[in-house]
Amino acid sequence: MGLSSTQQEAERGILLTTVDKMTRWAQKSSVWPATFGLACCAIEMMSVTSSRYDLARFGSEAFRASPRQADLMIVAGRVSQKMAPVLRTIWEQMPEPKWVISMGACASSGGVFDNYAIIQGVDHVVPVDVYVPGCPPTPEALMFGILKLREKIQMGLPPKYLELTQGGAS
Amino acid sequence: MKLTDPEILDRLQTRFPGSLEVVPSIDQPTVTVPREMLLAFAEHVKRVEGYVMFNDVLAADWFPARPRFEVVYHVYHPEKYQRLRFKTFVDEDQPLPSMVDLWAGANWPEREAYDLFGIVFEGHPQLTRIYLPDDWEGHPLRKDYPTAGPRVD
């Protein structure tokens, strides 16, 4: 009797999973963004970490000043022609796996800035996983985009740059 | 118009008879100077009249009119609290004399006008692009520059 009850109690405290699932769960629960605010969208990006919206619930509140510690680049604002090489360098410095969220109309398509100075969509420069619409997007919208990214990670879908290099989506 | 140096236009016209054209303006005395006289005029304005502070160089493109560029200079007299604006017209293949030797503050504004309009200032110590990347082609604020953004599709 004593032995079986111990075994039952032990089984109650154990969860079985695969290493893969476990890794994905850990990855999606600590997606750390790089500090990369380019324009007014950055204000909304900052407020998403505040206590009112509390991005910390999803483990993404730690904005890293170094791209080497970041998993996610939130392109928050219009990307000028002069900023594009800088953005690309920062993206290349991020360790893999890495994701990119294009936040707002300007980052996604150039927005109202249809002129010589602005890149017409940041996906010309880096591969984008999630596009968040809005001008600027509300913090809720950005949070929704981050949640969509978490879903993507949980499902085991590869980041966009792997999709592109490995040829065809899985 | 705010005038703390009310006779400035009369004095300038006496010094350069028949060559200056007074432009009606609501904020400060304004004259148009022929391109050939620009340097002599600027030297007089600074050394004799005492407008020792240089504010800005601006340009406007009146394409397809000829000459197409209107270059506008703003200077200031810090003791009389008086501003003065003088401008000149220039075409794209005509260089202008640089004001850097007279007013050091003209350095960056002239580079800006060169960068965005392609106006060449002769005698400028370092006439290179100031805003755009060094390998940029064209001058974006010209009227014949494409307005839409570049698409890489």
Tens digit of pLDDT for each residue in B64-120?
Answer: 888 999 999 999 999 999 999 999 999 988 999 999 999 999 999 999 999 999 999
**How many domains does chain B contain in total?**
1
CA separation for the pair A82, A149 (Å, rounded): 28
- What value of ipTM does the predicted structure carry? 0.73
CA dist list (Å): A4 to A14, A16, B129, B130, B148: 16, 20, 81, 80, 76
Instruction: Check residue A168 and give its pLDDT.
Output: 53
| Residue at B131 is within a domain | no
- Closest partner residue to B151 (CB to CB) among A81, A82, A120 is A120
| Residue at B137 is within a domain | no
Instruction: Check residue A61 and give its pLDDT.
Output: 86
| Residue at B147 is within a domain | no
Instruction: Check residue A169 and give its pLDDT.
Output: 47
Contact B149 A114 (CB under 8 A): yes
> Minimal CA–CA distance to B128: which of B114, B140, B143?
B114
Buried b (16+ CB within 10 A) or exposed e, B123-148: ebeebeebebeeeeeebbebeebeee
- Which residues in chain B are closer than 8 Å to A118, comparing Cβ atoms? 149
Stretch A55-81: mean pLDDT, rounded? 90
Which residues 32-61 on chain A approach chain B with CB closer than 8 angstroms? none
| Residue at B61 is within a domain | yes
Q: How many CB atoms lie within 10 A of CB A60?
A: 24
List pLDDT tens digits, range A119-165: 888 988 999 999 999 999 999 999 999 999 999 999 888 888 888 88
| Tokens encoding A146 | 């981050």
Contact B149 A82 (CB under 8 A): no
Go through the domains of chain A in sequence order and give each one's CATH number.
32-153 (3.40.50.12280)
Mean pLDDT across chain B: 90
| Residue at B153 is within a domain | no
Whether A79 and chain B come into contact, CB under 8 Å, resolves to no
| Residue at B77 is within a domain | yes
Among chain B residues, CA nearest to A121: B151
Over 60: is that where the pLDDT of B131 sits? yes
Q: Which domain holds residue B85?
A: 8-122
| Residue at B143 is within a domain | no
| Residue at B145 is within a domain | no
- Which residues in chain A are closer than 8 Å to B149, comparing Cβ atoms? 110, 113-120
CATH number at residue B24: 3.30.460.80
Instruction: Check residue B18 and give its pLDDT.
Output: 86
Instruction: For tokens 């009606």, name the residue.
Output: B24
Whether A124 and chain B come into contact, CB under 8 Å, resolves to yes
